[in-house]
Amino acid sequence: MTGPAGGPAASGHPAGPALPPTLAANPRLSAWVDLSAAGAVTVSTGKVEYGQGIWTALAQVAAEELEVGLDRVTVAPVRTDRSPDEGITSGSRSVEESGAALRQACAQARMALLAAAARRLGADPASLRVADGRIVGPGGPTGLTYWTLVAADPAVLDRDAGPPVPASDPRRWSVAGRSAPRRDLPAKVTGRPAFLHDLALPGMRHGRVVRPPAVNARLAGLPDAAALARAGLPPGTAVVRDGSFLGVVAEAERDAVRAAGVVRRAASWLAGPEPGLGALPPLPDCDDLAAFLRSAPAEESTVARRADQAAASRAVRTVAAEFTRPYLAHASMAPSCAIARWDGEQVTVWSHSQGPFALRGAIAAALGIAPGQVTVCHAEGAGAYGHNGADDAAFDAVLLARAAGGRPVRVLWSREDELGWAPLGPAMLARIEAGLSPEGRIVTWRQDVWSNGFIGRPGSGGHPRLLAAAHVAGGEPAPPAPDGPPTGAMGSTRNAVPGYDIPDLLVRRHRLLAMPLRTSSLRSLGAFLNVFAIESVIDELAAAAGADPVAFRLAHLSDPRAARVLREAARLAGWDARPRADGTGWGVGYARYKGLAGYCAAVAEVEAHSSVRVRRLWVAADVGKVISPDGVANQLEGGAIQSASWALKERVRFSRSAVTSVTWDDYPILRFSEVPRVQVAIMESEEPEAGAGEVAQGPVAAAIGNALADAVGVRVRDLPLTREQVARAIERG
C-alpha cells in the first residue's frame, strides 16, 4: 500500500504543475521508453501484471501518446535493476499513477524525437507530426522514423523529464479509451508458457519447504542422512535446515515432492518457540472472533470527527449494531512460486510479488546484505488480490538456493501451505450507532472498527515480514502489522467514514496489538466490512424512516457523481419495479472507494430458501476517464463475483495452533452453479482515472446483505452469509 512513490518534482523546475510523482522520482525518459529495436516500442513501468490487464492498459497509454500502433508496444517485465520504481502494484492506483507517469514520459519522448527530427530536417518542430512512428512533414513522409532517429542518436532519450508538457486530448484518443484485447491471453488460451510457474532455467533444481505443524512449533529433531535415505529420501536430495526452517532441494520436481514428504514424516517438532525468542499469541476461538477482537490489546485513534451537538440531540430513533468478518484467504488459483539463483554474493530472484522493489529490500534486510546484492525479476503468477505468499516463496527460494552451488532453485508451495501460511485478510469488527431525526434525516453516527493491521507487506514498519525469516535460527515472528494512518482511506479504516451527509460523526479505529495470525493486504482492505456495515445500518435507518433504500441514500448524498451511480444501478436493475416473491429479496449498496476514488453502486437479487444464493447483480461505477472499457468491465465483474464469494462462503478456519482450512474442500469459494449474473455500467467521465479493481467489493457485499435481510426479514450481521448464520439470526430475532 505504501511505496516510495511520491516526493518532489524533478529539480530545476520549481514553477508550474508538477510531474506525475513516479516520473519525478524516476525522471530518465529512457527508463520508460526504449526504441532501440527497429519498429518496436518497449515501455518499462514499475507496475506488475497479475491478470488485471494493466499491461494492456499501459500499452494503450504509450501507443496513444507516442502515436504508434498498439501492436508495436511491448511492456517490459519489472526488474529492480532496470525498471522505474513505482512502489507496490496495489490500491487500484496503477492507471492513475503509472498511467500518468508513462503518458507524460511518452509525451516528452515524442517531443524530444520531433525536436531531433526538426534539427535534421531544418524544419519547425510544430510543422511535424507522427504517424505510427514515422515523422511526417507538411510535404508528406520525411523518411525519418522514431527508430532511425534513435539509431542516429542512441542517447536522444537519455535525458530527464522536463516540466510537464500537454498530453493528448482524451476527446481525440484513438487507442486509449477503447477496449483492446488483452495481450497476454493468446498464450494462456493455447497453453503456452505464461507464468513464472512455467519458467525453467538452465540447470534448475526443485525445492520444497516443510512448514512447522503449528504457528509456534520449533524443529526439535531430524534423523541423519542415512536414516532419511532408508526412509525413502531420493538420492541426490539436499536437506536444508536453518533453525526451524526446513526444506529440500532435488533434481526433479517429483523427487522434491517425495523428499518433502519423507522429511515431514521424519521431523519432530516441539510446541512453543525457542526459549528466549518471541512467539505468536495462541490463536483465538475461530467461532467467536468478536470476543477476540473486542478483548485483544489495541491502540485507539480517531479517524474522523465532526461535532454538531445540536444536530445530534435531535435524534429520536437510534440503530446500534455490530458487524464482523472472518479472516479471509487470498486463495489464488496457483500456489506461490519463486526461483532464486546465487552468483557469488549476488542473488537473483524471480517472483510474482506485487512489490518487487519492496521485496528486494526485505530480502536484503533479512539476510543482512546490501539491497544492491539482490535483483528481483517479476514474472506473472496467477491472480493476486493483495499480499499473498509470493514474497514468502521468494525468500524460501533464496534460502534453499544458498545450498545449490550457483544453480537456480525453484520453489512451489503446496495448496495446503498456500491456504495455511500465506498472509490473511484480517478478521474485523465494526460497531455502529446512528441516530435519525424526526424528519428522517441521519443526524449522528458513531463507528468503531477493530482489526489487525492490513499493511503487512515486506518491509512494512521496518521489518522484512518474510515468513521464513521467523523460522530461521534466531528468527522471531514479525510484530503486528501496521495499518497506515487512520484517514478513512487506508487499512482497516478504509471506507470507515460514511460518505453521506451527516452533521455529527465520530469514527475510531482500534488497531490490535496482538497478531496471532499473520495479516496483510487483501483487496479493498477494510472497505469490504466497513461498507457492508454502514450500508446495512443505512438500510435499517431507511426502514425506520419509512423510506425507500435508494431514495433514502439519494437524500443524504450531495455529491452528484455518487447520485449518478446509484441512480444508474437502480435503473439497470429495474429497482422501482422489482418483483416481490417469497424467499427472494433485493438490496442496494453504495460507496466511493477510499472516500476519495471511484464511485460504485450495486443492486443484488438474492434467493434464500435452503441456501443463500445471489441470482443477479447490477453494478454501476464511475472511475473517471477509462483507458480500456472492457478492462474496467472485467475488473468490475470479477470484483463483484469475488465479493459475492467472500460474502456468501468464505471463512478461514483454525485450531488453537494452526490454520485448518487448507484445501478447496475446507475453504470453498463460489462455483459456476452459484455465480450470479452480473451486469455492469461504466459511467462516462472526464474526471481523473480512479482505478476499478476494488470499487465493487464493499457495495456488492452490502447489496447482498441488504437483499438477504429483505428476503428473510432478519439481518445477518456476521459474514459469511451462510444458511447457518441466517438460522442463528432468526433465533436471535
Partner 1 sequence: MDEQDLRLTVNGAGYAVRCDPATPLLDVLRHDLGLAGPRFGCGQGLCGACFVLIDGRARSSCDLPAGAAQGHAVTTVEGLAGRDGAPHPVQRAFLDEQAAQCGYCTSGMIISAVALLAADPSPGEEQVRAALEQNLCRCGAHQRIIAAVLAAARRMACGDPPGRDGRARQDRQAAP
Task: Between 197 and 387, name the residue whose CB sits nearer to partner 1.
Answer: 197
User: C-beta of 681: minimal distance to partner 1 in Å?
Assistant: 5
Cross-strand pairs, 137: 140
522 binds partner 1 (CB under 8 A): no
User: C-beta of 200: minimal distance to partner 1 in Å?
Assistant: 8
User: C-beta of 589: minimal distance to partner 1 in Å?
Assistant: 17
User: C-beta of 381: minimal distance to partner 1 in Å?
Assistant: 8
Task: Between 180 and 432, name the residue whose CB sits nearer to partner 1.
Answer: 180
Q: What SS3 class is residue 151?
A: helix
Strands 612-622 and 140-145: unpaired
Q: Which stretch binds partner 1 (CB under 8 A): 476-484, 546-554, 573-581, 666-674?
A: 666-674
Q: What SS3 class is residue 53?
A: coil
542 binds partner 1 (CB under 8 A): no
User: C-beta of 511: minimal distance to partner 1 in Å?
Assistant: 29
By CB neighbour count within 10 A (0-12 exposed, 13-18 middle, 19+ buried), where does 321 fall? Answer: middle
385 binds partner 1 (CB under 8 A): yes
Cell of residue 30, nine digits: 529512457
Q: What SS3 class is residue 250?
A: strand
Strands 317-325 and 428-436: antiparallel
193 binds partner 1 (CB under 8 A): yes
60 binds partner 1 (CB under 8 A): no
Contacts (CB under 8 A) with partner 1, residues 589-628: 620, 626
Q: Which stretch binds partner 1 (CB under 8 A): 5-13, 30-38, 110-118, 183-191?
A: 183-191
Contacts (CB under 8 A) with partner 1, residues 298-337: 331-335
Contacts (CB under 8 A) with partner 1, residues 457-516: none
Contacts (CB under 8 A) with partner 1, residues 364-383: 380-383
Contacts (CB under 8 A) with partner 1, residues 411-430: 412, 414-415
354 binds partner 1 (CB under 8 A): no
Task: Between 43 and 334, name the residue whose CB sits nearer to partner 1.
Answer: 334
- Tell me which of 15, 189, 226, 370 binds partner 1, using CB under 8 A: 189
11 binds partner 1 (CB under 8 A): no
Task: Between 37 and 252, name the residue whose CB sits nearer to partner 1.
Answer: 252
User: C-beta of 438: minimal distance to partner 1 in Å?
Assistant: 38
Task: Between 72 and 510, name the residue whose CB sits nearer to partner 1.
Answer: 72
- Tell me which of 504, 685, 692, 704 binds partner 1, using CB under 8 A: 685
Task: Between 431 and 649, name the residue whose CB sits nearer to partner 1.
Answer: 649
Contacts (CB under 8 A) with partner 1, residues 265-294: none
Sheet holding 41-44, edge to edge: 33-34, 41-44, 73-76
> Can you tell me the distance from the alpha carbon of 261 to that of 147, in angstroms, rounded to the nearest whole number?
55
Contacts (CB under 8 A) with partner 1, residues 239-268: 252-254, 258
Contacts (CB under 8 A) with partner 1, residues 113-152: none
Cα end-to-end span (Å), the chain? 40
> Can you tell me the distance from the alpha carbon of 341 to that of 394, in angstroms, rounded to the nearest whole number?
11
Contacts (CB under 8 A) with partner 1, residues 635-664: 637-642, 645, 663-664
Task: Between 8 and 232, name the residue whose CB sits nearer to partner 1.
Answer: 232
Residue 203 — left, alpha, or beta (φ > 0 → left; ψ -120 to 50 → alpha)?
left
Contacts (CB under 8 A) with partner 1, residues 22-51: 50-51
- Tell me which of 121, 194, 369, 547 binds partner 1, using CB under 8 A: 194
CB 483 within 8 A of CB 300: no
Task: Between 7 and 664, name the residue whose CB sits nearer to partner 1.
Answer: 664
> Can you tell me the distance from the alpha carbon of 404 to that of 249, in angstroms, rounded to the nearest whole number?
8
Cross-strand pairs, 349: 340, 376
- Tell me which of 684, 731, 732, 733 binds partner 1, using CB under 8 A: 684
- Tell me which of 90, 521, 524, 634 binds partner 1, using CB under 8 A: 634
185 binds partner 1 (CB under 8 A): yes
Residue 661: C-alpha distances to residues 329, 494, 612, 652, 686 (Å): 10, 27, 21, 6, 45
Nearest of 50, 55, 83, 48 to residue 70 by alpha carbon: 55
> Can you tell me the distance from the alpha carbon of 42 to that of 62, in angstroms, rounded to the nearest whole number?
9
Residue 99: C-alpha distances to residues 56, 61, 75, 167 (Å): 11, 7, 12, 12
> Can you tell me the distance from the alpha carbon of 125 to that of 562, in angstroms, rounded to the nearest whole number?
44
- Tell me which of 671, 688, 713, 723 binds partner 1, using CB under 8 A: 671
Cell of residue 467, nine digits: 515468513
186 binds partner 1 (CB under 8 A): yes
Neighbours of 275 (CB within 10 A): 6
- Tell me which of 71, 158, 198, 559 binds partner 1, using CB under 8 A: 198
> Can you tell me the distance from the alpha carbon of 657 to that of 517, in angstroms, rounded to the nearest whole number?
10
Residue 348: C-alpha distances to residues 161, 256, 407, 470, 534 (Å): 30, 21, 11, 22, 46
Cell of residue 419, nine digits: 491456504
Task: Between 257 and 321, name the residue whose CB sits nearer to partner 1.
Answer: 257
Neighbours of 451 (CB within 10 A): 29
CB 720 within 8 A of CB 121: no
By CB neighbour count within 10 A (0-12 exposed, 13-18 middle, 19+ buried), where does 169 fall? Answer: exposed
Helical H runs in 493-593?
527-544, 549-555, 560-573
CA 64, 69, 72, 77 torsion-angle sign: positive
Number of shown-chain residues binding partner 1 (CB under 8 A):
72
- Tell me which of 68, 180, 427, 711 binds partner 1, using CB under 8 A: 180
User: C-beta of 167: minimal distance to partner 1 in Å?
Assistant: 20
234 binds partner 1 (CB under 8 A): yes
Task: Between 45 and 634, name the residue whose CB sits nearer to partner 1.
Answer: 634
- Tell me which of 27, 46, 53, 475 binds partner 1, using CB under 8 A: 53
683 binds partner 1 (CB under 8 A): yes
- Which residues contact residue 539 at a Cβ distance below 8 angstroms, ignoring those fewer than 6 apart? 549, 587, 588, 706, 709
Q: Which stretch binds partner 1 (CB under 8 A): 38-46, 98-106, 304-312, 633-641?
A: 633-641
> Can you tell me the distance from the alpha carbon of 323 to that of 526, in angstroms, rounded to the nearest whole number?
12
Task: Between 183 and 717, name the residue whose CB sits nearer to partner 1.
Answer: 183
User: C-beta of 329: minimal distance to partner 1 in Å?
Assistant: 10
At residue 641, φ and ψ (nearest 5 deg) are -70, -40
Cell of residue 464, nine digits: 522484512
Task: Between 254 and 723, name the residue whose CB sits nearer to partner 1.
Answer: 254
Q: Which stretch binds partner 1 (CB under 8 A): 9-17, 100-108, 187-195, 441-449?
A: 187-195
Task: Between 167 and 675, name the residue whose CB sits nearer to partner 1.
Answer: 675
